[in-house]
Amino acid sequence: MDTASSHRLAARHQPHHDGSARYVGDLAPRLGQHVDLLVRVPAGADVERVFLRSVPDGEPHFTAAVAERTDDTGATWWRAVLEMVNPEMNYRFWLHTPEGGRWLTAAGLHDHDLPDATDFRLTTHPAPPAWAAGAVVYQVFPDRYHRSGDSPLAAWARPAAWDTPLRTGDAEALQQMYGGDLWGVARRIDHIQRLGATVIYLTPFFEGRSNHRYDAVSFDRVDPALGGDEALIALVTEAHRRGIRVIGDITLNHSGDGHDWFRTARADPASPEAGFYFLGDGGPDDYATFLGVHTLPTFDHRSAELRRRLYEGPDSVIAKYLGAPYHLDGWRVDVAQMAGRRGDVELNRLVATTTAATVRAANPDAVLLAEHQHDASLALAGDGWQGTMSYAGFTRPVWSWLVEKHDQKDFWAVPGPIPDYDAARLRATMTAFGAALPWRGRAHNLTLLDSHDTARFRSLAGPERQLLGAALLFTLPGIPMVFSGDEVGVLGEGLEEGRKPFPWDESAWDRHTWQTYRDLVRLRRSHSALTGGGLRWLVAEGDVLLFEREDERERILVQISRAGHPPVAGEWHAAHLLGGPQLVPGRDLPCEGPAVHVWSVAR
């Protein structure tokens, strides 16, 4: 083995703990419970003693770990016990070596002290539903999925035939309607089932004044242009019959300016609805808005009546659609990082925890996810959102490593082009954002290559690298989400272009992409280590990523090669699951690229 390979595999010989079920005795402990924590120390790591440091009631406390066993690789497993003194417990490990002490935190192994923000976290807050960690989500933008022909368009809509090019860059683009509806989703649910997805995520179904419907004019009814309440009920019923769940999308940050509440607020300053918004006294157009968009007035969550109607208690909008006759399986909350925040008003945590309590009471088996475009660590303690859309911790670093077009004018509103990362920077970014979360929150984040709010990843990365991104999507921790059309090769460089109608003429599909997505979905759903296992990075250099997912039952080895690279010496007996040869110790791993290889490692 050459020196380069030796350095690359150094991570395999470092102590490891990641907060997953492989290393934590109970991921949903009770207050006061004692939880076993394990640290795996490989042979040759020269660790003499291990201590657990926790911070009960704010005071650092050290507990000696016990070397419990040695496995067939020669690694020693150390066990320490954490008492859940507080609802949220931070912890880390202090390792004694002949060269000095080392801190093992969620940010990795370090020879210097780190802030507590990098600690592992374990909480006693209610766990997400058991089905969520193994889910594969399929995002549907209803107007663009399938048109049944049974739902009339609104009077304001600008009708478009299914093959009409999208309008872009003008106000009329948001009124361009292709006529897709919920009846259409139900009639084409076979496609979702063939892909292997287990959850349909619908962008808003409330009546609005745009094709995206984030400008709701009422939360009391499903948009008639989507088929109304009857169509949503029929879709959920059919999905459930097939073992597929359905989650809705709602904004708790704002409504549309045509909403019943907003119209009442402007007409009657003495009305309860006047307290639902930040209304100024400078005239009818003086009110707070979402990002300066005048059609999207911002909610003022100081109003108890707003909270009661929207997300607090059994009579709220949130509760209504989780029960009969709709029976949704959860919600995704739009721009959740902004809800309840404006100037000196800071009620974001209240919005999250109150919504979560309502969801648990209405349907304990429902999931609550949120949109968050940057650091979501303060929002994922576990008593509010159960996961967020992982733009910062997954999507951005994957784009930065895999896209070939780096000359975009901005990168999700960050000035300048998309960064050009090597694998080391991808790993560093994912580690930094992952380290800030409890493992349970990280495992329930929606991971995605793109969405209705982005260009299509394929348009910037190309077909081959799209499949590399898809491999990361289905093999790294998180709940993978596929935006409708990605699986058949839909293109679109801008936001509007990315929302083009689904191509039901299968002759237009990229059949290799379609089959690869199906293979990856099947792979993920067939292996518990990919849905609930821990994560250990082994190689992250230049054009190659090599990592291990492991639970009590199996170990999965994944190699993603962006391009050809120097060989990495193998140390495993492993059977190929996808794209690769059998592995035996001493044989180099494949070094061609672009390529994806997945192996099952002998235990």
How does pLDDT run across 117-166, given as a tens digit for each residue? 999 999 999 999 999 999 999 999 999 999 999 999 999 999 999 999 99
Beta-bridge partner residues of 138: 200, 482
Q: Which whole-number Å values give the CA distances from 436 to 54, 105, 173, 335, in the listed order?
A: 16, 10, 39, 20
Mean pLDDT of 165-182: 90
Ranges of CATH 3.20.20.80 domains, the chain: 138-529
**pLDDT at residue number 12:** 65
Does domain 138-529 fall under CATH 3.20.20.80? My reply is yes
Q: What is the pLDDT of residue 4?
A: 46
- For residues 492-501, average pLDDT: 88
Query: How far is CA 581 from each of CA 220, 349, 513, rounded to the nearest angstrom?
Result: 56, 49, 22
Strands 446-448 and 479-483: parallel
Band of pLDDT at residue 411, cut at 50, 70 and 90: confident
**CB-count exposure of residue 292 (10 Å: 0-12, 13-18, 19+):** exposed
Q: Where in the chain is the domain with CATH 2.60.40.1180?
A: 531-601
Q: For 326-380, how does the pLDDT look when each residue is reduced to its tens digit (9 = 90+)?
A: 999 999 999 999 999 999 999 999 999 999 999 999 999 999 999 998 899 989 9
The mean per-residue pLDDT over the stretch 405-417 comes to 75
The percentage of residues in the chain with a pLDDT greater than 90, rounded to a whole number, is 87
Angle at 34 between CA 31 and CA 35, to 5 degrees: 105
- Residue by residue, what is the 3-state secondary structure of 279-296? ECCCCCCCECEECCEEEE
Superfamily holding 531-601: Golgi alpha-mannosidase II (2.60.40.1180)
Give residue 6's pLDDT: 42
Pair of tokens at residue 264: 């009442």
pLDDT of residue 106: 95
Residue 171 pLDDT > 90: no
pLDDT at 263 over 90: yes
Split at pLDDT 50, 70, 90, the class of 413 is low
If you average pLDDT over residues 556-579, what whole number do you get?
A: 94
Q: How confident is residue 432, by pLDDT bands cut at 50, 70 and 90?
A: very high
Phi/psi at 370 (5° precision):
-145, 160
The predicted model scores a pTM of 0.96
Average pLDDT of the chain, as a whole number: 94
Residues of the chain with CATH 2.60.40.10: 17-123
Q: In 393-445, at which residue ranges do the beta strands (DSSP E only) sit?
A: 410-411, 414-415
pLDDT at 27: 96
CA distance 217 to 476: 39
Give the pLDDT of residue 170.
Answer: 81
Query: Which pair of structure tokens corresponds to residue 6?
Result: 């030796």
Tell me phi and psi for residue 539, to 5 degrees. -140, 135
CB neighbours of 214 closer than 8 A, spacing ≥ 6? 203, 204, 208, 251, 256, 296, 334
In the predicted model, is pLDDT for residue 10 greater than 60?
no
Residue 5: band (very low, low, confident or very high) from pLDDT cuts 50, 70, 90? very low
Class of domain 17-123: mainly beta
Q: What is the pLDDT of residue 56?
A: 98
List C-alpha distances in Å: 483 to 265, 402, 516.
37, 18, 15
pLDDT for 2 equals 45
Least confident among 97-101, 326-330, 409-413, 427-431: 409-413
Of 91, 101, 21, 112, nearest to 435 by C-alpha is: 91
